[in-house]
């Protein structure tokens, strides 16, 4: 008998473990909202926005209905629209490029660095040139803090300044992370984040936020997220949308924020353990000096076409894996007609063929992690 078939399946991300820890506190927070019945823009929303702004050291947080909406709201507030180009990586979740198209602009792809999975600032000039060749006005760039690791915001800011681009940081996966001793949320002109449940800082449904130090930009986002209101609800000064964070979700997020720093530490301890145990048989993630990742994913690289065999071997032992992302955006049906930078996107292609993510969450205990490490080592040594 194969004893391994009796092993309990391991969750990839264990949202239930956090739920068990926070149970009574979250239940009480939700009950408070159920009692006062202000389900839309109730008092918990403003309280949470203030807490989140303090957490990341930003002047303004405007919460909204999703991370995708946060990106759309920020682009709209920046005045991005038809005939504009918005630079973004090809190796990311589709929403990063989707939002450029949703506001009527054109996404133009920039390649990423193999070591960090994040946008390569050296490719920005080539993507600006490609945008101009296509008859577009390059207006903004959306770097992504992929898998939780902050992008190289200093290098991006310098290149963006040289090309006169606004910077909108997509911190959906990286919110909570630190770059150059500062939390994400204060890099670029605005930051967008997602509270999708599987994110490092997620709620129990959809949600997102725009974060900025720019008073005027924050005012426009605040107007846009409730139908473009002016001095009151029935004064409509711009075309907006209905994109609010539910009061119940805000109340839940306030409880989760209390334990988020501790969870970031736990994720980092787990990532260190993985890297120490697997560094000799796989390419493990690089964290540049001065950065702290929140490890939305713990992603290794397996060259030589053995990645899929590893996924199959782990699955047979009840260990799930994820491939983020198997097809880079410049090869996706909906995105392949958009321009790519002059130096190409070869690294994005390579990463799509090599990456594999292992289970990662703040409640992954050492025994379970040892099971994953042991199975990964055995599979890769075959």
Ligand X SMILES: Cc1ncc(COP(=O)(O)O)c(C=O)c1O
The binding site for ligand X (CB under 6 A) comprises 66-68, 92-93, 95-96, 144, 170, 172-173, 194, 196, 206, 208
Distance in Å, CB of 94 to ligand X, minimum: 8
Distance in Å, CB of 99 to ligand X, minimum: 8
Torsion of CA 64, 294, 284, 312, to 10 degrees: -60
Distance in Å, CB of 274 to ligand X, minimum: 21
CA atoms within 13 A on the CB side of 221: 30
Q: Which residue number, 111 or 317, has a Cβ lying nearer to ligand X?
A: 111
Distance in Å, CB of 96 to ligand X, minimum: 5
Distance in Å, CB of 217 to ligand X, minimum: 19
Q: Which residue number, 208 or 240, has a Cβ lying nearer to ligand X?
A: 208
- Could you tell me which residues come within 8 angstroms of residue 358 by beta carbon, excluding any fewer than 6 positions away? 274, 298, 299, 300, 319, 321, 372, 376
Q: Which residue number, 194 or 247, has a Cβ lying nearer to ligand X?
A: 194
- Could you tell me which residues come within 8 angstroms of residue 279 by beta carbon, excluding any fewer than 6 positions away? none
Structure tokens at 105: 């602009």
Dist. CA 70–CA 190, nearest whole Å: 10
According to DSSP H, which parts of the chain are helical?
A: 15-36, 43-56, 67-77, 95-102, 124-133, 153-162, 215-224, 247-278, 307-315, 346-354, 366-381
CA neighbor of 148 nearest in space, from 275, 314, 286: 286
Q: Which residue number, 170 or 317, has a Cβ lying nearer to ligand X?
A: 170
How many CB atoms sit inside 10 A of residue 6's CB? 8
Q: Which residue number, 14 or 169, has a Cβ lying nearer to ligand X?
A: 169
* 189 beta partners: none
Contact 46, 38 (CB under 8 A): no
Distance in Å, CB of 329 to ligand X, minimum: 11
Q: What angle do CA 205, 149, 341 make, to 5 degrees?
A: 100
The CA-to-CA distance between both ends of the chain, in Å, stands at 21
Distance in Å, CB of 70 to ligand X, minimum: 8
Dist. CA 153–CA 187, nearest whole Å: 7
CA distance readout (Å), 132 to 105, 106, 125, 127, 196: 13, 11, 11, 9, 35
Distance in Å, CB of 31 to ligand X, minimum: 26
Could you tell me how many residues make up the chain?
A: 382
Q: Which residue number, 206 or 317, has a Cβ lying nearer to ligand X?
A: 206
Q: Which residue number, 200 or 359, has a Cβ lying nearer to ligand X?
A: 200
Structure tokens at 117: 């999975």
Distance in Å, CB of 48 to ligand X, minimum: 16
Q: Which residue number, 198 or 303, has a Cβ lying nearer to ligand X?
A: 198
Locus of tokens 């606004």: 166
Distance in Å, CB of 312 to ligand X, minimum: 26
Q: Which residue number, 203 or 379, has a Cβ lying nearer to ligand X?
A: 203
Which residue sits closest to ligand X, CB atoms considered? 67
CA distance readout (Å), 256 to 15, 59, 191, 212: 12, 21, 20, 22
Structure tokens at 69: 């909406």
Q: Which residue number, 86 or 172, has a Cβ lying nearer to ligand X?
A: 172
């Amino acid at each position: 008998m194969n004893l391994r078939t009796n092993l309990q399946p391991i969750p990839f991300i264990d949202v239930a473990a956090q739920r068990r820890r926070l149970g009574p506190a979250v239940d009480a927070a939700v009950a408070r909202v159920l009692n006062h019945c202000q389900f839309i823009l109730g008092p918990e929303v403003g309280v949470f926005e203030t807490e989140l702004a303090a957490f990341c050291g930003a002047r303004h947080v405007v919460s909204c209905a999703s991370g995708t909406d946060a990106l759309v709201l920020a682009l709209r507030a920046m005045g991005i629209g038809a005939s504009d180009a918005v630079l973004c990586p090809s190796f990311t979740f589709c929403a990063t490029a989707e939002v450029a198209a949703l506001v009527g602009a054109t996404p133009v792809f920039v390649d990423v660095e193999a070591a960090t999975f994040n946008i390569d600032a050296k490719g920005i000039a080539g993507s600006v040139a490609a945008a101009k060749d296509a008859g577009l006005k390059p207006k903004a760039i959306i770097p992504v803090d992929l898998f939780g690791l902050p992008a190289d915001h200093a290098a991006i800011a310098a290149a963006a300044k040289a090309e006169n681009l606004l910077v909108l940081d997509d911190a959906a996966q990286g919110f909570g992370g630190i770059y150059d001793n500062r939390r994400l949320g204060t890099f670029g002109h605005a930051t967008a984040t997602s509270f999708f449940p599987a994110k490092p800082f997620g709620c129990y449904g959809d949600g997102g936020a725009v974060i900025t130090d720019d008073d005027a930009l924050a005012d426009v986002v605040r107007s846009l997220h409730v139908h473009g209101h002016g001095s009151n609800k029935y004064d409509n000064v711009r075309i907006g949308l209905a994109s609010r964070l539910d009061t119940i979700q805000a109340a839940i997020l306030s409880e989760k924020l209390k334990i988020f720093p501790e969870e970031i530490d736990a994720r980092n301890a787990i990532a260190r353990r993985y890297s120490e145990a697997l560094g000799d048989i796989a390419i493990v993630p690089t964290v540049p000096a001065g950065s702290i990742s929140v490890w939305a994913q713990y992603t290794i690289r397996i060259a030589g076409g053995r990645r899929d065999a590893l996924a199959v071997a782990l699955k047979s032992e009840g260990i799930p894996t994820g491939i983020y992302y198997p097809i880079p955006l410049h090869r996706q049906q909906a995105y392949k007609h958009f321009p790519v930078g002059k130096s190409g996107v070869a690294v994005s292609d390579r990463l799509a063929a090599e990456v594999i993510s292992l289970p990662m969450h703040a409640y992954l205990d050492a025994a379970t992690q040892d099971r994953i490490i042991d199975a990964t080592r055995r599979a890769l040594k075959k």
